[in-house]
Amino acid sequence: MRDNITVYVGLPGSGKSTIANLVGGQWRPDCHYVKGNDTVDDSSHVADTDIMVTRNTGKTIPEIFSQEGEEAFRRYELGALQQALHDPQIEHLSVGGGIIETAQARKLLQQVRTIYLAASVPTLVERVEEDEHVAQIPAGSSSVSKIQIRSGNNQQVSEDDDTLRAVPQVRPLFRDGNVEATMRELYARRHALYEKIASHVVTTDDLDTEQVSSIVSMIIEGNIDATIHVPDSEAPYTVYFGKGLTQCVADAINRGTQKVMIVHPQSVLAHVKQLQQILDNDQHRRFQVFTYCVPDGEQQKHYGVAQKLWGACGDAKLGRTDTIIGLGGGATTDLAGFIAATWLRGIHYVSVPTSLLGMVDAGVGGKTGINSRHGKNLIGSFYRPQAVVCDTGNLNTLPHEHSVNGYGEIVKCGFIADQQILSVVERTPFCELFGSQSTALHATARAAIAVKADVVSRDLREGSIRENLNYGHTFGHALEKVSGYRILHGHAVAVGMMFAAYLAHERGMLTDEQVKRHQTIISHVGLPVRFAGASIDDLMDAMLMDKKVRSSHLRFVLLDGIGHPVRQRVDDRELLRRIAHKVMVPDNGSWRCQRDIDIDYLAPHSPGDYALWIP
């Protein structure tokens, strides 16, 4: 099948025809007519299956439905798709929203670059209900004189001496007049099918056509390597993953935004300047750009920092339609998202994680917050971003220990949901696991993001299955707290996963081999499997402040076999103390403490076995 064609799919109102024409470079006022958000072009390399059907049959879509029925229309539609895919001149193809329900069409669409233009139900309803105003176009244009019918929106075109005017007709799907109810039914029936066949998903809510077409162009050109959709019928968003995506950040900003606040640490100042330059030079939109520099690491997730940042928002007079961009590691996206969630009870937010950990964890999922003296992330909000932009070019600037740190969350997703992640890690030499050119890193990071996107789309507010993402976190967060948040999160979670594995083994849920697999994989990516420097009593007290505690009962995410997480209450404090000793460095002299400020590890007990020093 051809690799030089892009097919656009989506529900009615998604703007498939408009984007196909914009990206195809055919947006010329003398060769198209417009109805609402849809544009029709009679160029040779931009096509629409609805137009092809009407030309092939000589009938409008309503006529086909009324005279022959939907089954006949689907046959004609499939034939048009096959015709277009075998026409070497066609490079951009818009297809009808219902084509996805034909199994043979789905099979064909999976063989080409297919972009799903996704939007929330309220957005789609608004677009369809506004789809009544049809622009006039001059008669006499050779490009449009052949176009007699625009059947994608079921509008017929009549010709007279002065103009061609599109005459609106009711779409067959919306004849009963209840657009919202119909759209919700279509979304429920088709959304999963679109996601299954699409090679990329672009969320179009609150973006104009120029923004969407720019993002689609980056996909076609190869800058955006992958898109991971976080579906929600009310507020979906997309994670963009690739290299050189600063323009993508600008394109993801809400179309109504006038002021942008970029929250960032000093370490990413070069990236901030690059983004600011793009925003300043945007010819399509005029932004007033503010920047706010925060401390590095977890120190920024402090109430005092948040209070000053709220003050900066007030000084900038950020309004409800304005946007905050969190550009930095996971701590920055946590903080910036929390400020966006709380300023004016919620303004737009774009997450731009620059660390591997931020990309696979904090930047995705809508959890925002700051720390308190009682524990990590205890003050926060669930708040969806507009988009998440993961630029892998930033990974080249990370210190090695921060790349290792990100693998803590990656292998966690492997243990709880996607064992392919574990397989990739196991067969990849250590030296090939890191760097922006690492195929293993890209594959496992994308897979980890997909795991998290799937979970949070089903449980945003951690009412049930989202707690599974906390595998290793109860003990890991305790390690972070007793260290004063001076150790890296992924390192702490690695030890926490070993704690959870030993606990599951004690309960008969994991075998000796499965516990050993934990240790082997965690060690292979350079993460610690034990700790030293903290007391068991302090760790027990810290665990009691975990967010999963219910009525003073500790609850853990454990594995009932790898890939099968469960949530269990554990009241046996002596058992927990015994397990803690299993992941504590034994006082037998075989482990040599390294207390240099730049070294977080103890010397290995055996090749690849590291322990975490709690300062």
Q: Which residues are catalytic?
A: 345, 367, 409, 452, 462, 466, 470, 473, 477, 489
Determine contact, residues 354/289, Cβ cutoff 8 Å.
no
Determine contact, residues 507/559, Cβ cutoff 8 Å.
no
Crossing angle of helices 209-221/16-23, nearest 10°? 60
Q: How far apart are CA 513 and CA 534, in angstroms?
A: 28
Give DSSP secondary structure letters for 277-345: HHHHT-SS---EEEEEEE-SGGGGSSHHHHHHHHHHHHHHT--TT-EEEEEESHHHHHHHHHHHHHGGG
Q: How far apart are CA 583 and CA 533, in angstroms?
A: 12
Whose CA is closest to 9, among 55, 64, 48? Answer: 48
Q: How far apart are CA 549 and CA 543, in angstroms?
A: 8
What are the E-state strand segments in 12-146?
A: 32-35, 38-41, 46-48, 92-94, 113-118, 137-138
Whose CA is closest to 361, among 399, 393, 402, 315? Answer: 402
Determine contact, residues 88/2, Cβ cutoff 8 Å.
yes
**CA–CA distance from 399 to each of 239, 303, 395, 590, 600 (Å)?**
24, 28, 9, 29, 13
In terms of C-beta distances under 8 Å and separation of at least 24 residues, what long-range contacts does 52-59 make, across chains too? 52/80, 52/83, 52/84, 53/77, 53/80, 53/151, 54/148, 54/149, 54/151, 55/149, 56/80
Determine contact, residues 421/269, Cβ cutoff 8 Å.
no
**C-alpha of 615 from chain center:** 35
3-state class (DSSP) for residue 39: strand
**CA–CA distance from 361 to each of 172, 356, 377, 489, 493 (Å)?**
44, 8, 14, 11, 12
**Burial degree of 381 (CB within 10 A; 0-12, 13-18, 19+):** middle
Q: How far apart are CA 577 and CA 492, in angstroms?
A: 17
Determine contact, residues 2/112, Cβ cutoff 8 Å.
yes
Q: How far apart are CA 329 and CA 264, in angstroms?
A: 9
Q: Give me 216's structure tokens.
A: 């689609």
| Beta carbons within 8 Å of 125's beta carbon, 6+ residues apart | 13, 179, 180, 183
Pairing of β 137-138 and β 163-167: antiparallel
